[in-house]
């Protein structure tokens, strides 16, 4: 993986907190819209909300 561009928040995180893997998920627009609305309602970005939900479902404790 190449280094993150200057100014990228990825660089500011300690090594043990970096998000260094990508998950690709194809969904219907209506599903994504509902997820974005829910995440925004909780004051989160979609990726953050998805990580929280998936980590809870899998009993993963970061």
pLDDT in tens, 41-59: 999 999 999 999 999 999 9
- Radius of gyration for the chain, computed over Cα atoms and rounded to the nearest angstrom: 14
Q: Which residues of 33-47 are buried (b: 16+ CB within 10 A; e: fewer)?
A: eeeeeebeeeeeeee
pLDDT in tens, 5-54: 666 665 677 877 788 889 999 999 999 999 999 999 999 999 999 999 99
The tokens for 45 are 């970005």
Contact 45/39 with Cβ under 8 angstroms?
Answer: yes
Residue 36 pLDDT: 98
CA distance 5 to 12: 11
pTM: 0.72
The runs of H, that is alpha helices, within 1-62 are 29-41, 46-58
């Amino acid at each position: 993986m190449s280094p993150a561009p200057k100014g990228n928040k990825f660089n500011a995180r300690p090594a043990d907190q970096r998000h260094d893997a990508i998950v690709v998920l194809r969904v219907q627009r209506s599903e994504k819209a509902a997820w974005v609305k829910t995440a925004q309602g909780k004051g989160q970005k979609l990726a953050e909300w998805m990580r929280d939900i998936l980590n809870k479902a899998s009993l993963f404790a970061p």
